[in-house]
Amino acid sequence: MAHIGNTQSAIWTRFSRSIDLAVVACLAIVAATGAIALSPPAPVAEKTVIVAEISAPPAPKAPSVRQRAPQLQPQFFPWKAPETYTPVLPEAPKPAIPNRQQEAFLTRMRGQTPFRASTHDNLATHYGGNWREDNVSETSSGTLLSIHRVKGESMPYTIAELQSPGKYGYGRYEVIMRPARGSGTVSAFFTFTGAHFGDPHDEVDIEFLGQDTTKVHFNYFRKGKRGAFEGFDLPFDAADADRLYAFEWTPDQITWFIEGQPIYSTPTGDAGIPAAPGKIMMSAWVGKPFIEGWTGKPTFTSGTGAHYSCVSFVPMGGTGPGCGDNYTPPVVLSP
């Protein structure tokens, strides 16, 4: 249906035949319908309804004794009862500071001292010589650790090392020392512990290379990993006289001192600060050829050595004497 204005019209579909045929067809339909209406109706057959009987479902049979109590069978044979669960707890970390409060000490490095000489060979280490007690000698003002060229030994050099019998942790460490002169030599004052002592490798160092004793090297390790080490030029030649060096070691930082003045501190928040207490050690040594890029070729004069005239330790938060208490810087005359 279409809408055009307000007039409504219907569209139809025409048949294909004429109107006369349509009229005749209509009359024939009416006649047939009347004949059907006047004829008597046919008799209706009776319907038979069959109702099916629905019987109740049979009652379930009582389960047999075997069904009531089935035998449990293990899934695996032979079957084993589960073990009692025991939780695995993390191992408690070792304390960074020994429970026993460490005592302060000071030694002038003459006569009886708390330090003992190392006496073993170094075939499997980076050291190029063997530790020998004969290389440790007393002087009028302290102790000399010598380095010698030798024949008939398992290695071409003998070197010297002193170590404390006990371990020391956080605190202030001071030393008055004079490093060895000569390329290939290393002089050190440090704390150390490692696998040989049943600990991780923790270390704090003051080191001098004999090839240039106008420089000092500060170094440290935590569990064998080297920290933010540094080296500094000195306003003097360290091999000319005994001078005061120190470091303060705390859980958060290490600070190194020269002649009582702070020179270098580890970075703030450094996670590599050593934590395990270590032995206090002094050494004069030569390295194997594979570290000559650092130490220099060993061209030193046999008998050179490092001299130590004072060592002290004061535990963190404690009090005690220090090597720097009555220290006076030496006067070195120019040549």
- Just list the catalytic residues: 207
Distance CA 291, CA 176 (A): 27
Rounded Cα gap, residues 328 and 310, in angstroms? 13
Count of positions (residues) in the chain: 335
Q: Contact 279/133 with Cβ under 8 angstroms?
A: no
Q: How many CB atoms lie within 10 A of CB 323?
A: 23
The tokens describing 163, both together, are: 């170590």
SS3 state at 186: strand
Q: Give the residue among 193, 192, 202, 204 at the shortest CA–CA distance from 230.
A: 204
Burial tier of 78 (Cβ tally within 10 Å: 0-12, 13-18, 19+): exposed
β-pairing, 254-258 with 243-249? antiparallel
The Cα 157–Cα 283 span in angstroms is 14
